[in-house]
Amino acid sequence: MASASSSLTNHNRVVQPLLTDLYQITMAYGYWKNNKKDDIAVFDLFFRKNPFQGEFAILAGVEECMKFLRNFRFSEQDIAYLKTVMPDSDEEFFQYLAGVSAKDIKVYSVDEGLVVFPKVPLLTVEGPLPIAQLLETTLLNLVNYASLVATNAARFRLAAGPDTTLLEFGLRRAQGPDGGLSASRYCFMGGFDGTSNVLAGKLFDIPVRGTHAHAFVTSFASLDEISSSTISYADDSGKEADIVQMSIDWLKKLSIALNVLVEECNKGELAAFIAYAVAFPKGFLALVDTYDVLRSGIPNFCAVALALNDIGYRAQGIRLDSGDLAYLSNCVRTFFTSVANHFSQDWFKDLTIVASNDINEETITSLNHQGHSIDSYGIGTHLVTCQKQPALGCVYKLVAINGEPRIKLSEDVNKVTIPGKKNIYRLYGADGNGLVDVLMSPTELEPVERQRLLIRNAFIESKRAYVSPSKVEPLLKLYWDQGNVCLPLPTLKELKQRTAISISHLRDDHKRQLNPTPYKVSVSDNLYNFMHEIWLEHQPIGELA
């Protein structure tokens, strides 16, 4: 596991104190002006509703929050700019801002990569009121999208199953460069196997994948355009082979053995495949739908793949980017099997079939119901832009000040906050799966394994139950204190593994795509009574006329 200091060096310089909303700074001035700069506040960062009509989310972005805290200081240029934005503010306030940092802040967080649920604080921020307030927008920005796209990726992984290769192809459709890089990082964390984003591969050590586009195929019109027609044998013998003639010969063999109509095979496409094979004999994977998949693309691919095999190279497979993906993939697999049987090349049966073409979670589910032969998906727009739901909706709410609880009331009960600083525990059932997340007052004793505990729905009096957990997992941990990260920060690959393990401890009915069972989030009996006392204390009493 990476140390905290080593993983915090790669800081995005756009993430800085001025990456915030103006009202955070005006509030900080209001606090300062009213001598509240030394008040100690507690804020909870959480979301109210699960994304994508599901019943879970994945927490992501914690490491980026730590980087932000480590670098949280207003520069001289920042102060000079703020003076132009707030020209009537006291000069002493800007002197105060110049000395502000996160050294007096404590941040408790759920481990990045864990499954999380509504109303459960993902981060709890404690410290001087103006400083804790100034952190709000940036922390929300760093957690919201990261958690949303990691959750989306995890849902794609659940839909595709554990053995299908998932590749993120979303850079060209992402919301700007930062969105593209974040998407690549958190899609990998959520369960994807690779990305087309080369910079993300370099920065985050994510495997990069890619073949060619239709432009490469249409740039060739005839075999005469191939400038290099020879490939060295794979055995380093120094011998060379005429790959053009070998491919033509194999196309003729295919026409005899499998009734391929050579005249329907586009010669420009064949030339493009040969040219690509010359460039990448060890990584030949061809896009086969430029003209006609079954009458041109697949025969041309097979001819070149068999020619490569004669000189010691194994082709990887093909990509489908249009058409009826279930039908075409099954036809392609049948053709590959026929080639394998006719020419005694068993490996040909297992060539990879990659599918792309604006795939979403429902597409994969539908393909699974239809039956298909796809081994890998390249997914872009619906993954990185989260078209199904554009935002997670995390909020940042004041829950205590100077040790006194604070509550926000609303006619919409879903927007009522749970007051006070809290501890959170995940209680597991006998089957090893998460059973319920429980919020408790910090003065309460930690739940004990196999010891009965009364838990309650925070908002519905009649909903209560006893639980005797087989395992108790504390969720909120002190991550930032006295200007330092307190816990080691996992590598991205370790986060990916943690995410997969956390999801595996959810019951299947919580993870299913259609009408999933809500996961229970409860409060202790003590916290329930505490919360409702404060609720009644602050709720105005109406009068009927």
Domain spans in the chain, listed from the N-terminal domain onward: 1-162+392-418+476-513, 211-374, 423-475+515-545
Average pLDDT over residues 157-180: 96
Name the pTM for this structure: 0.95
User: What's the pLDDT band for 3 if we cut at 50, 70, 90?
Assistant: low
Average pLDDT over residues 40-63: 98
Helix spans in 59-113 (H) = 62-70, 76-85, 91-98
**In the 8-state DSSP scheme, what is residue 402?**
T
Average pLDDT over residues 363-382: 97
9 pLDDT higher than 80: no
Q: What is the pLDDT of residue 473?
A: 98
Residue among 363, 389, 366 nearest 378 (CA) = 363
pLDDT in tens, 114-128: 999 999 999 999 999
Taking 3-state DSSP, the helix, strand and coil percentages for the chain, each rounded to the nearest 5, stand at 45, 15, 40
Average pLDDT over residues 310-318: 97
Share of the chain above pLDDT 90, in %: 94
Q: What is the pLDDT of residue 412?
A: 87
Average pLDDT over residues 247-265: 96
Taken as a whole, the chain contains a residue count of: 545
1-162+392-418+476-513 CATH pick, 3.20.20.140, 3.30.300.30, 3.20.140.10, 3.40.190.10:
3.20.140.10
Residue 423's φ and ψ, nearest 5 degrees, are -105, 150
What is the DSSP secondary-structure string of 278-309? HH-TTS-EEE--SS-IIIIIHHHHHHHHHHHH
pLDDT in tens, 426-476: 999 999 999 999 999 999 999 999 999 999 999 999 999 999 999 999 999
What's domain 211-374's architecture?
A: Alpha-Beta Barrel (3.20)
Which amino acid would we find at residue 161?
G
Name residues whose C-beta falls within 8 Å of residue 199's C-beta, 6 or more positions apart in sequence.
Answer: 181
Residue 283's φ and ψ, nearest 5 degrees, are -135, 40
Q: What is the pLDDT of residue 12?
A: 86
Q: Are 461 and 529 in contact (CB under 8 A)?
A: no
Q: Are 453 and 469 in contact (CB under 8 A)?
A: yes
